A = this chain, B = another copy of it.
């Protein structure tokens, strides 16, 4: 018992070194995606894989396992969510997870997914699913195998979901997603046929990218992204990455004829970044200073993007600033018309371009299909048909090609099964958090209209960010909102907003 503090320090230092190596590799990857010379790719891959291998061998050092074992025997379990107990619990969980997987399976999966992404890319370019089918079959079967090792007698798909959303139960997801799905299908159909429709062409005028950059930076800074501890850059596929406790990089993509892409990309990534910047520095690289789950991470981006960024009060605040920046381009546009355009709902084929109402239907389709693939109820060869049927059923549209249908996302080719549902979990949690924050903080609309984001920001800091991985996503939702995760807050928020716009 007396050695416990020393042992804890040894374990923390060991982990911090792994985190440092990881952050270095992440920096190289950030650089790779922000303008690295085209021919530098091969050496960069060697640099990154060398660092990843060093991290891996550091994390699987048998001594580390012994320390963790000793530590878990002597850790006080009275307060399961305090920092030290959580630290040990989560590290042991990660350790056991790693040791459940046979080394050769890791290697086979890695080879299959590298190949899978190449073949997927080829198939998409040729618009031919059959090119991808054999690789997908291989990946599905390896992921089934992985799921069985991880599940240890339980549901393989559930164990794959838990890789991204620890503690999530597939049956709960089924119930929540089904009770979300039918009202969304009805809502989307209703809005599609509404006589009053937004003028989306407002967003398609020529908006100089230099001006869009100004607006994006202004908004990111205003909602609380700290530019002394982060930066905003551009890339082809926006993302957010943390390269140290005070170095969060967010990236967006501008189109000169598309006002909302760059701006909402920024707000979304800034939401992720604000979460990362809210993790506690003292626990950097350790579970109490890490994000809880992908669903919670996505809830932070979606809350700022949708609950805040697509609201009328927010635009009442931002509109005069936007007008100043873009000048004549917005001269003839009222804030109400702009806000309506930014909330246009229309069934479409591509997930990443989908609006807030249809987005979750894209996810539910993927969730249902991947669950059936891993469960063995659906064969990879049957996927295109099942995909198209689901799009017809839920969105009322048919992909004219595999490229704009079943082949649009990289995820499955990269072995990411169980990842898609975290997007919708994020949307659900975002609405639920926002409603709870509003109940506690009073009239948020008024605050947004004045550009006062600090109370909402503080609520997120207190209820989500500071807890790191001490709680699961479901526990954070319960603690912060008083209720289990449910579809009602999201449905209510959508219905209220669209009612005002479309009726």
Contact = CB atoms under 8 A, between A and B. Distances in A.
A245 interface: yes
Interface in A24-77: 24, 27-28, 31, 35-40, 42-44, 46-47, 50-51
Interface string A194-235: 000000000000000000000000000000000111110000
A101 to B, nearest CB: 28
Contacts of A50: 17, 20
Nearest to A54: B54
A337 interface: no
A475 interface: no
A24 B47 contact: yes
Contacts of A37: 227-231, 246-248
A244 B38 CA distance: 12
B20 A47 contact: yes
Contacts of A227: 37
Q: Give the residue among A46, A227, A247 with the most B Cβ atoms within 10 A.
A: A247
Interface residues of A, number: 31
Contact of A40 (B43, B47, B51, B243): B243
Contacts of A246: 37, 39-40, 42-43
A23 interface: yes
A237 B475 CA distance: 50
A37 B228 CA distance: 5
Contacts of A229: 37, 39-40
A454 B31 CA distance: 31
Contacts of A247: 36-37, 39-40, 43-44
Nearest to A229: B39
Contacts of A243: 40
A321 B305 CA distance: 45
A51 B244 CA distance: 15
A228 B40 CA distance: 8
A76 B231 CA distance: 54
A470 to B, nearest CB: 23
16 contacts: A20-B46, A20-B50, A23-B43, A24-B28, A24-B47, A27-B47, A36-B231, A37-B228, A37-B247, A38-B228, A39-B229, A39-B247, A43-B244, A43-B246, A44-B244, A44-B247
Closest 9 CB pairs of A and B: A40-B247, A43-B244, A39-B246, A39-B229, A39-B228, A40-B246, A38-B228, A37-B229, A37-B230
Given A23-B47, A37-B231, A43-B247, 17 more contacts: A17-B50, A24-B28, A24-B47, A27-B27, A27-B28, A27-B31, A31-B31, A37-B246, A37-B247, A37-B248, A38-B228, A40-B229, A40-B246, A43-B244, A43-B245, A43-B246, A44-B244
